[in-house]
Structure 1
Amino acid sequence: MKTSIIKGIPALVLAFMVGAAMMGCEKDNRTEPKSVLKGRVVHEGQPLGVRSNGVQLELWQYGYQLFTKIPVHINQDGTFAASLFDGNYKLVRLRGNGPWTDNTDSIDVQLRGSKEIDVPVIPYFVFKNERYAKGEGKVSATFDVQQVATGRTIERVNLYIGTTTIVDPNNNVANAQQVAANLTDLSKPVTLTVNIPAAHASRDYIYARIGVKTSGVGEMLFGMPQKIMLK
């Protein structure tokens, strides 16, 4: 009995090793997705700025009994990209996940190779006529704020400055703000000025970006980062 068990062990081990190797080969030989879906989140044909890694869309693929969502993160300039297999997808704008009104309508996407699409949204507020200027140890931004969607009020506007192109509430070296109590007349331009911290005063340039916060909405809408030459 003992002899039979001992002799049987190598065969079992060999079978396990062969099976594992075959599974490893199958995994290595599995094709990677080669098609790319690119796009922009837009309002009136213009991309909208958001917080880096803060807002996302979802893709769902037809033809599977168990649907698994594919998260698609929106870059801070409003663009996105996803590597996918060819197929038919539904693109979904998540409720409460962006500085715009909820839209539960999905977008059908037929992907055969690469494709570019625009995803329209209706923001609560947008910026117009952005103008930036440097001063002695400070940066200013003047802009108009326009309300697009009704039903919510403005909470505040901010001017952020940072040392990289990624500029938002989580990535900045200084910021200034104006709260709703001082924004009662949106027909007038808003000016914000932020002092450059002493640790960054000797830099050749800095990045500036404005943002608007809507009451009751988690994410802010932003302008595009601007490179401000200091010397």
Structure 2
Amino acid sequence: MKTKIFMIAQLLCVLTFATVLSSCEKDSRPEPKSVLKGRVVYDGQPVNVRSNGVQLEIWQRGYQLFTKIPVYVNQDGTFSASLFDGNYKLVRLPGNGPWLDNKDTIEVELRGTKELDVPVQPYFVFQNDTYSKGEGKVSATFNLKQLNTSRNLERVNLYIGKTTIVDPNNNDGNAQEVAANITDLTKPISLTVTLPAALAGRDYIYARIGVKTSGVGEMLFGAPQKVMLK
């Protein structure tokens, strides 16, 4: 019986030592110092999206499997990832952004810091957007250009809020127009939001337009605009 107890105690010591050693090895690993950063672009210009809504995937081949590294795209279309030097594959996640799916892989050889533009083709883009204030209201006027006819327009929105992070999940007021009421894309579209009590008395707010394509989860946005109220 004593022999069994002694063997169990030895085994526990070995397991504890192995766990501590493994933990020390993880803690002593160097932090990644190389940086892959860039923009999601159309026609050389960044594509604005919802904050923390759209992902890219970076893949690296390991000893046995590919390792996936998800990278969120910022609302201004930029992204950044800290990585170790190496060879990677960057993938535009299908069905994730407000653009056509593109299954092409972008090969990335990373040594230090690298900047990269990731091209996409949105279904719609904004043109000639302007913003103005009225008595207790904020308005936006813009043109909407359809780049691809494989999917239809669902709606357009105007969001307003206290900060530059303005989207369906972060706003203090919004207005929308559905596609059925937008019959001619050659004509400007106007949207107006009545200022809610939460924004009353402020010197300024931020406004941002968005377009929703039918059957596509994420919206495409304009850049947030500061609108002076006083």
* TM-score using structure 1 length: 0.93
Residue 47 of structure 1 deviates from its aligned partner by 0.4
Task: Report if the CA contact (8 A) 2:61-2:67 is conserved.
Answer: no
**Retained in 1: the 8 A contact 2:129–2:141?**
yes
How far did 1:90 drift?
0.8
Which residue does 2:42 correspond to in 1? 43
The residue identity in structure 2 corresponding to 1:32 is E
What residue is the counterpart of 1:172 in the other structure? 171
Contact conserved, 1:62 with 1:87, CA < 8 A, in 2? no
Specify the alignment match of 2:133 in structure 1.
Answer: 134
- How many residue pairs are counted as aligned between the two chains? 230
Residues 181-226 of structure 1: CA distance to partner in whole angstroms, max 9, x if unpaired?
Answer: 2211111111111001023211121110000011111111000111
- Code of the aligned partner of 1:90: K
Measure how far apart 1:41 and its partner are.
0.4
User: Structure 2: how far apart are the matches of 1:141 and 1:97?
Assistant: 27
Aligned in 2, Cα 1:139/1:26: closer, same or farther, shift over 3 Å? same
Alignment of 1:1-231 (within 5 A): 2=2, 4=3, 14-231=13-230
Aligned partner of residue 180 in structure 2, secondary structure: helix
Gaps of at least 5 residues in structure 2 are none
Between 1:13-22 and 1:119-128, the stretch displaced more is 13-22
Q: What secondary structure sits across from 1:227 in the alignment?
A: strand
DSSP 3-state at the match of 1:83: strand
User: What amino acid is aligned across from residue 24 of structure 1 in structure 2?
Assistant: S
- The unaligned stretches of length 5 or more in structure 1 are none
Q: 1:156 to 1:12 in 2, by over 3 A?
A: closer
Distance 1:225 1:11, change over 3 A: same
Separation in 1, partners of 2:176, 2:110: 43
Contact 1:59 1:92 in 2 (8 A): yes
1:142-168: CA deviation from partner (whole Å, max 9, x where unpaired): 111001112111111100001111111
Q: Distance in 2 between matches of 1:16 and 1:93?
A: 43
Q: 3-state DSSP class of the match of 2:58?
A: strand
TM-score, structure 2 normalization: 0.93
Deviation of 1:9 after TM superposition, in Å, equals 6.8
Q: Once the two structures are aligned, what percentage of the paired residues are identical?
A: 72
Change (3 A) 1:114 1:151: same
